[in-house]
Amino acid sequence: MTSQSKPLGLWPLVATVVLLAMPYVLSTYHLGLVVQMMIFALFAMSLDLLIGYTGMPSLGHTAYFGISAYTTALLALRLNLNAWLALPAGLVLAALTASLFGLLALRTRGSYFLMITLALSQVVWGIAFGWRSLTGGDDGLPDVPRPALGLHLPWSLADSTPFYYFTLLLVAVATFLLVGIVTSPFGYALRGIRESETRMLALGYNVWRYKLTAFVLAALFAGLAGSLYAYYNRFVSPDYLNVARSAEVLLMVILGGAGTLIGPAVGAVLIVFLENVISAYTERWLLALGVIYVVVSLFAPSGLIGLLRHIRSRRATP
Amino acid sequence: MNFWLIQTLNGISFGMLLFLLAAGLSLIFGLMKVLNLTHGSFYLLGGYVGLTILHLSGSFVLAVLVGSLAIAAIGVIMERFFLRRLHLQELPQALLTFGFLFIFSDLATVIWGTNPQTIPKPAIFSGALQFDGFFYPSYRLFIIVLGLIIAGALWWLQDGTRLGAMLRASVDDEEIARALGINVSLLFTLVFGFGAFLAALGGVMGGPIVGVYPGADFDVMLLGFVVVIIGGLGSFKGALIGGLAVGLLDNFGKVFFPELALFTIFAPMAVILALRPAGLFGRE
Amino acid sequence: MTALTINNLSRHFGGLQAVSNVSFTVEVGERRLMIGPNGAGKTTLFNMLAGALPVSAGRVVLFGRDITLLPAYARARMGIARTFQITNLFPRLTVRDNLVLALLAAENAVRSRHRPVSANHSLMHHATRLLDKWDLSAIAGKDAKDIAYGEQRQIDLVLALAAQPKILLLDEPTAGLSAAEVVRVVGMIRSLPRDITILMIEHDMDVAFELADRVSVLHQGHLIAEGDVEAIRNHPQVREIYLGVDDE
């Protein structure tokens, strides 16, 4: 890791205890908020893999969030498939789409890559919006059943506490995997690619293959977040795929601090929180969000984690 | 036969609006390496301001002029005081332009409401042109002609003037252009403002046929990207050919495959990306 | 035994012919210096050898195998390592992590692919040993962007050496260094074992003649002279194009 990372100490333990205890302390409404925070934390971390670790400015990441959501929802709704099939199916479709889009987009870099990834994801939005017979179009897919596990358990995932633990489990496993990826040789290679592609090539790394793999991996995790969100909301619509969603997840990554995994997770928590608070007082959430974007882009491009490190280093060298 | 002619002309006239949008987008991208996500807002605001000016003054010409120039001014301010600080930082630029996109989008609904509106056609073009039993709205023909004139003017500007030469030099190599004494910063501001001008012009001109409605910014933005991807970046020719192509694809797509309309645009875009990532006329 | 052969290598950029019909052979263990004025095409040639630039014409043969169409990363895996004229490290990673990346590329153990890098003790020790060997342990924990320029050039070299290459392409390793730093880097290069073949671009004539077994001289894209140090030093055309060569 870079010179700035330090051992996390007791924080993971504290976080685990707190998260496990949530259903006993929070109301159903607030518990639902925490579920959303976890889902979007996962979504943001998946994008961080691309933006923060590999240096690939992907603007269309919500395509995989949405495709997995729609796939899972459709399979659960129309074919009554249980979660063991519907959820992985969503991931598979997300991965396939990412492979296709990656093949197309990875021939470009920088701002051009930005545009192409956004355009591709907006085409997916357009298809979801226009293909009424399949996706319900603008009306979306209501009444998505909560995940059926096919097991005879004393509680139902239709209730908020069991679903909370279900989400917590999946997000925790996914986070564990993500941490494993970024600390592995593969994760190191991604960072090398971010810092200098030409050097990586000179050292013998097949950079293109690493980038495509990262692209598909990131899509898998985004897809998991999307399917979870579909199950949570019991509703999927083209809003899962719109520009606002693409922008929002980017903000979460940058606000939190790209390249740290925890930064984007914190960013997601913050944005979900803010959205709920601001929406309660005004309809102008989009306007407020826009202002936040402008402010963050101008004054905090390294995000909260960057700010924290800056403060810590200023304190260390008086 | 008439059906095909009508649809083709519809596609071409819409394509001209896309050309106006994409020309600015392409120019801004080619010169400043900025993906201007606010470009759709310029289109939208141009339409809305034009609408208001028309209501206040009754003059279509005034609506076009004021609409385009007002938005150009907004563009200049946005570049000079905000965008300029993020030179070559793609992600903060994306955040910033997203931010303005949402701000403008929301403000537009506050100021002009959420109902879709149209700009009435100017009296001289409110009728149809008749040719051998064939009728076609003269306003759409006017758009086609105007689009060609503007394309010609841009061509002349790029290839025949000193300003164009400075522009091409700066696109090719910004550092050397600066070293040669070209005021690249001023050029950036002018180009951004000009791009906004063109987009807003498209917004006002498009008002009578496409309407002015919340969400138009996002709709045209996507089409603008597709035009630039197909036509190539940094090239007016690409913006024109790409615009016409997408206009026709979009129109015929809606006619024959209404549910999958966007797919008819996606397929050619994917083909271009696969075979020629720089676009048909891209310089890179 | 021949390490590297290039046949009629050419490269043009539009109308500009950067490298014209260059051919030569480098033996295993040889120290071949490439000299020539600015714009002679030396770095272009290098980039073609490393696979960073496709050739316009000609062939590159490494240990008997035609690698002309092989991409850069594949050549690296075959044993070619290179340094860069303009420093090309991983700026926001520590010096140690820079090295780790170089070592990971050469590492073949599948077992270690899924474990955290920090748990790979043999790798971390290897990195530490390498830094110790070249007396660079002091900067191990610093970010590459924060170390002195001279140290950056040294790390540039160490990165290329990490994977134990068979052929080393050095692009002006002493550029911009102080006299003391030049001595250090030359010492590093001189201490390299003879199973490594070295092809080096150099502007400093003293350094070039000190290290070279043979010298190839490029001028305006053409190979105009080749021979041992004495032959080149006295070569009339070489003396002509080089102003300021010491008359000894």
Same domain, C129 and C247: no
Q: Rounded distance, CA C34 to CA C205, Å?
A: 10
Q: DSSP readout, A193-211? A: HHH-HHHHHHHT--HHHHH
Q: Rounded distance, CA A177 to CA A182, Å?
A: 9
pLDDT above 70 covers what percent of chain B?
Answer: 99
pLDDT above 70 covers what percent of chain A?
Answer: 97
**What is the pLDDT, as a whole number, of residue B25?**
92
Q: Establish, for the pair of chains A and C, how many residue pairs have beta carbons separated by less than 8 Å.
A: 96
Q: Do chains C and B touch (3 or more CB pairs under 8 A)?
A: no
- For B85, nearest residue in chain A (alpha carbons): A298
Q: Rounded distance, CA C66 to CA C48, Å?
A: 13
Lowest mean pLDDT among A76-85, B158-167, B178-187: B158-167
- As a whole number of Å, the CA-based R_g of chain A is 19
Same domain, C204 and C150: no
pLDDT digits (tens, 9 = 90+) for A245-272: 999 999 999 999 999 999 999 999 999 9
Q: Token pair of B36, please? A: 């201007």
Residue B227 lies in a domain: yes
**What is the pLDDT, as a whole number, of residue C248?**
43
The boundaries of the domain holding residue C134 are 88-164
* CATH number (domain holding residue B99): 1.10.3470
Provide the domain count of chain B.
Answer: 1
Cβ–Cβ gap B106/A104 under 8 Å: no
In the 3-class helix/strand/coil scheme, how is chain C assigned residue by residue? Answer: CEEEEEEEEEEEECCEEEEEEEEEEEECCCEEEEECCCCCCHHHHHHHHHCCCCCCEEEEEECCEECCCCCHHHHHHCCEEECCCCCCCCCCCEHHHHHHHHHHHHCCCHHHHHCCHHHCHHHHHHHHHHHHHCCCHHHCCCEHHHCCHHHHHHHHHHHHHHCCCCEEEEECCCCCCCHHHHHHHHHHHHCCCCCCEEEEECCCHHHHHHHCCEEEEEECCEEEEEECHHHHHCCHHHHHHCCCCCCC
Q: Rounded distance, CA B171 to CA B169, Å?
A: 5
Q: Rounded distance, CA B253 to CA C15, Å?
A: 44
Residue B283 lies in a domain: no
Residue B215 lies in a domain: yes
Q: What is the mean pLDDT of chain B?
A: 88
Cβ–Cβ gap B259/A133 under 8 Å: yes
Give the residue from C164, C197, C216 where a domain finishes: C164
B24-54 burial: b if 16+ Cβ within 10 Å, else e: bbbbbbbbbbbbbbbbbbbbbbbbbbbbbbb
Instruction: Give the pLDDT mean for A221-233.
Output: 97
Place C240 in a pLDDT band, splitting at 50, 70 and 90.
confident
* CATH number (domain holding residue C216): 3.40.50.300
- For A180, nearest residue in chain C (alpha carbons): C116
Same domain, C153 and C170: no
Give the residue from C131, C164, C197 where a domain finishes: C164
pLDDT exceeds 60 at position A293: yes
Instruction: Give the pLDDT mean for B67-74.
Output: 96
Residue B13 lies in a domain: yes
**What is the pLDDT, as a whole number, of residue A3?**
38
Question: In chain B, which among 119-148 make CB contacts under 8 A with chain A?
Answer: none
Of the candidates A33, A195, A222, the one whose C-alpha atom is nearest the C-alpha of residue A117 is A222
| Chain C residues within an 8 Å CB radius of A184 | 113-117
Q: Which of A203, A302, A313 to mutate to test the interface with C (most CBs of C within 10 A)?
A: A203
pLDDT digits (tens, 9 = 90+) for B216-254: 999 899 899 999 999 987 778 889 999 999 999 989 888
Element (H, E) at A236: strand A235-236
Cβ–Cβ gap A204/C105 under 8 Å: yes
pLDDT exceeds 80 at position A152: no
If DSSP codes are grouped into helix, strand and coil, which group holds residue A44? Answer: helix
Q: Rounded distance, CA B22 to CA B6, Å?
A: 24
Half-sphere exposure of B144 (CA within 13 A, CB side): 14
Same domain, C178 and C160: no
Cβ–Cβ gap A116/B273 under 8 Å: yes
Instruction: Give the pLDDT mean for B73-94.
Output: 92
Between residues A152 and C167, the one the model is more confident about: C167
**What is the pLDDT, as a whole number, of residue A4?**
39
Q: What is the mean pLDDT of chain A?
A: 91
The boundaries of the domain holding residue B206 are 6-275
Give the residue from C164, C192, C212 where a domain finishes: C164
Distance from CA of C120 to the nearest CA of A (A): 10
pLDDT exceeds 50 at position C59: yes
pLDDT digits (tens, 9 = 90+) for A87-109: 999 999 999 999 999 999 998 88
Residue B257 lies in a domain: yes
Q: Token pair of C122, please? A: 């043999």
Contact B144, B8 (CB under 8 A): no
Identify residue A277 by its one-letter amino acid code: V
Distance from CA of A154 to the nearest CA of C (A): 38
Of the candidates B6, C32, C52, the one whose C-alpha atom is nearest the C-alpha of residue A202 is C52
Provide the domain count of chain C.
Answer: 2
Same domain, C181 and C239: yes
Same domain, C123 and C153: yes
Q: Rounded distance, CA B208 to CA B141, Å?
A: 13
The burial of C210, by beta-carbon neighbours within 10 Å (0-12 exposed, 13-18 middle, 19 or more buried), is given as middle
Beta bridge partners of C9: C22
Same domain, C103 and C206: no
- Between helix B90-112 and helix B216-231 the angle, nearest 10°, is 140
Same domain, C98 and C71: no
The burial of A2, by beta-carbon neighbours within 10 Å (0-12 exposed, 13-18 middle, 19 or more buried), is given as middle
Same domain, C182 and C248: yes
Cβ–Cβ gap C93/A196 under 8 Å: no
For chain A, say whether C81 makes contact (Cβ under 8 Å).
yes
Strand C57-62 to C197-201 pairing: unpaired
Same domain, C213 and C242: yes
Fill in the DSSP letter of residue A4: T
Same domain, C22 and C136: no
Binding partners of C (≥3 Cβ pairs within 8 A): A
Q: How far is CA B117 from CA A85, B54, B114, B159, B207, in A?
A: 46, 13, 9, 39, 8
Count of C-beta atoms within a 10 Å radius of residue A187: 21
Contact A48, A253 (CB under 8 A): yes
In the 3-class helix/strand/coil scheme, how is chain B assigned residue by residue? Answer: CHHHHHHHHHHHHHHHHHHHHHHHHHHHHHHHCCCCCCHHHHHHHHHHHHHHHHHHHCCHHHHHHHHHHHHHHHHHHHHHHCHHHHCCCHHHHHHHHHHHHHHHHHHHHHHHCCCCECCCCCHHHCCEEEECCEEEEHHHHHHHHHHHHHHHHHHHHHHHCHHHHHHHHHHHCHHHHHHCCCCHHHHHHHHHHHHHHHHHHHHHHHHHHHCECCCHHHHHHHHHHHHHHHHCCCCHHHHHHHHHHHHHHHHHHHHHCHHHHHHHHHHHHHHHHHHCCCCCCCCC
Same domain, C170 and C248: yes
- For C108, nearest residue in chain A (alpha carbons): A185
Contact C119, C66 (CB under 8 A): no
Instruction: Give the pLDDT mean for B180-207.
Output: 91
- Look-up of token digits 């050397």: B176
